[in-house]
Amino acid sequence: MAENLSDAFARRLAARDNPPPPPPLSQEPAAVQARVEAWLLAVHAVRDRRARQRQSLMLLALMQQPECTTTALAEAAGLGMRGAARTAAQLHALLLVAWEERGLYRYWCLTRAAEDALLLVVVGPVAPAAPAA
């Protein structure tokens, strides 16, 4: 049985007003790092490209491990100890990381606010639920 004109037109308009969802964000490390760098620029106004890159690498390391020493952060960002300590201090000034001294070492971890914000950066914003019919 052929579909009448009004039903076909209504279906076409419904499809137009409800576009398909966007594809999921890539979880490749380079893509995640690029999103974190863009977030640092947009939200925290980190203008220096090299600083953003180092900070994003450190944040990625802290996303993979709950806490890291300054030495581990230095390895993750490819920096020396002084550069890593300076970059970690910059992240601390942005309220993205906190630290705790235990013995001879300083352990860095993400703050709760940073964890919540970075989850949205990595996964992407949650799509709103479809309205109930």
Q: Give a yes or no: residue 43 inside a domain.
A: yes
Q: What's the mean per-residue pLDDT of the chain?
A: 89
Record the pTM: 0.78
Cα separation, 56 vs 44, in Å, equals 12
In this prediction, residue 113 carries a pLDDT of: 96
Q: Give a yes or no: residue 93 inside a domain.
A: yes
Q: What are the residue ranges of helices labelled H in the chain?
A: 5-17, 29-44, 49-64, 70-77, 81-93, 112-123
pLDDT tens per residue, range 76-115: 999 999 999 999 999 999 999 999 999 999 999 999 999 9
pLDDT at 129 over 80: no
Q: Give a yes or no: residue 100 inside a domain.
A: yes
Q: Give a yes or no: residue 1 inside a domain.
A: no
pLDDT tens per residue, range 13-27: 888 877 777 788 888
Cα separation, 96 vs 18, in Å, equals 37
Q: Burial, 37: exposed, middle or buried (Cβ in 10 Å; 0-12, 13-18, 19+)?
A: buried
- Of 128, 14, 109, 2, the C-alpha closest to 63 is 109
pLDDT tens per residue, range 37-85: 999 999 999 999 999 999 999 999 999 999 999 999 999 999 999 999 9
Question: What is the domain count for the chain?
Answer: 1
Q: Give a yes or no: residue 131 inside a domain.
A: no
CATH of the domain at 78: 1.10.10.10
Structure-token pair, residue 111: 């703050």
